[in-house]
Amino acid sequence: MTSPVPASVVTHPLPTPKLITIAVLAMGGEGGGVLSDWIVDLAEHSGYFAQSTSVPGVAQRTGATIYYVEIFPKILAGDGQQPVLALMPVPGEVDIVIASELMEAGRAIQRGFVTPDRTTLVASTHRVYSMTERTAMADGRADSEVFEAAAQESAKRLVRADFAKLAEKAGSIISATLFGGLAGTGAMPFSREQFESAIRRGGKGIEPSLRAFAAGFDSANAGGIASPVPEIPIVDTRVGPALVEAAKRIKEEFPIESHEILFPSVRRLAEYQDVPYAEQFLDSLVPILEIERLHGGGNYILLRETARYLALWSSYEDAVRVADLKTRSKRFERVQRDSHADAAQLVEINEFLSPQPQELADLLPVRLGEWLMSSEGMKRFITRFTDGGKVVETSSITGFLVLYFVARLRFLRRGSLRFHVEHKRILEWLAAIRAIAGRDYATAVEIAECGQLIKGYAGTHALGTRNFDCILAVLPAIEEKPDAHEYVRRLRIAALADDTGKELSRAASAISQ
């Protein structure tokens, strides 16, 4: 029986020394510069010429930068000779590509840096969503499986893992786990000890970086993690003392198929407003439950979708909600952690706020809010002070107290203009579902799905509301049709297709003709 290979020895055959080209694609704050510096230090201390360049770019997440490194063995250069090294990666001529995030891997593939005859691709499988993905009217996320399939097809060798999570567990940043992943591929002619020495010579965060390096190295040697094993969803039924009765009611009155939505919903609504508000949510679902028992097929789709969007709609974002989220201790802890500041460092948090007359009117009692929105003079007066936005330093006493005071105004919410308007629409939506469910269950489900149109704030919320009202307005013209659910589905998809409402207008006009 052969003895095991020590962990400190690279188990892959070392390549013949030659020019090695490496492209690192990373976003701001991920340590891409540190990673390229480690690679240069590693090469120079191992008898190589090394040159690195970086080209910063702009991404709709945070700054995306391409770091490019070329290394060449001095032994091949000849006495007194130095190679001429390139400043930028050339498509088809890159040996190693390191991508700090899955979309960055896709960007490298799109630019031709990854080729099946040459390139080793080390890619993290986590995602940092772009602004277009986040602000899409529907689920605008790019399909991660498409990126992974492209990486598998395009690379000569692919090492993939959630390097961000590995780094978090090690108390370090992703550059260290990626460096370990690179070492584990055996694509460079250096031992593990040489890689680790480069980290030590860096002189900062050595121990956490070495732990993260080891995690990345082990992942690469295990072949990478293709994708997480799907977990069987476990419903979290834990609630605080104030929600014990609501939890008991859910378990006794509502089917288990709905529990994974109902439990987080009552917790969310009690936190958003109060316990009676969460109980009112359950009351609203009782008629839907009765319809399910009479006309449903036993899968409780109508109940689940109605509950899902009712909970989200009932916890709409207003100034009170935003102020509450921004002043929570967990938020300060998260910012401190994400900024990688230690306990001795001070972190300043500046909030950019742009309150509009409508947002202020929403907080006021119904009649006063309506009067403000009907007064052009008052709206101009308010805009004079709020136009251009305001910066509030939440980490200062004054700034914190301003938002803390606004967050404490939730007791006024039930009498506010916004509450009145939103709940009037909610009642219309629930009535439409109940009215049609008895004779057309499928159409009732599609109407319930229309609740996803109401989201966000400011312009996004206004557009979603207009789209929602448009669909309800044309509902009488289509609800008697044999395929009414298809018409509603098309309208909903059209409403989510763009942020102008033009697609929905065209679809509604075609139906009305």
Mean pLDDT of 141-162: 88
Helix runs in 171-274, H state only = 174-185, 192-202, 206-221, 244-253, 259-272
Please check whether residue 11 is in contact with residue 5, taking contact to mean a CB–CB distance below 8 angstroms: yes
| Nearest residue to 140 via CA among 488, 452, 467 | 452
Least confident of 11-15, 348-352, 432-436: 11-15
The DSSP line for 132-197 is HHHS-SS-----HHHHHHHHHHH-SEEEEE-HHHHHHHHTS-HHHHHHHHHHHHT-SS--HHHHHH
- pLDDT attached to residue 445: 95
Q: Indicate the range of 61-65, 130-134, 155-159, 210-214 predicted with least confidence.
A: 61-65
pLDDT higher than threshold 60 for residue 188: yes
Average pLDDT over residues 127-140: 73
In the predicted model, what is the mean pLDDT of residues 226-255? 79
Closest CA to 255 of 213, 303, 219, 208: 303
The single residue listed with the structure tokens 């700090």 is: 100
pLDDT band at 512 (very low <50, low <70, confident <90, very high): low
CATH number of the 20-221 domain: 3.40.920.10
Give per-residue pLDDT as tens, 356-377: 888 889 999 999 999 999 999 9
115 neighbors 43 (Cβ within 8 angstroms) = no
Confidence label for 3 from pLDDT (cuts 50, 70 and 90): very low
Q: What is the mean pLDDT of the chain?
A: 86
pTM: predicted TM-score of the whole model, two decimal places: 0.69
Span 241-253, average pLDDT: 95
Q: What are the domain boundaries of the chain?
A: 20-221, 232-315, 319-416, 417-513
The pLDDT, as a whole number, for residue 226 is: 40
Distance of CA 47 to the CA centre of its chain: 43
Q: Are 422 and 316 in contact (CB under 8 A)?
A: yes
Q: Is the dihedral angle over the CA atoms 395, 398, 403, 409 positive or is it negative? A: positive
DSSP assignment of 93-132, as one string? --SEEEESSHHHHHHHHHTT---TTT-EEEEE------HH
Q: Which percentage of the chain shows pLDDT scores above 90?
A: 52
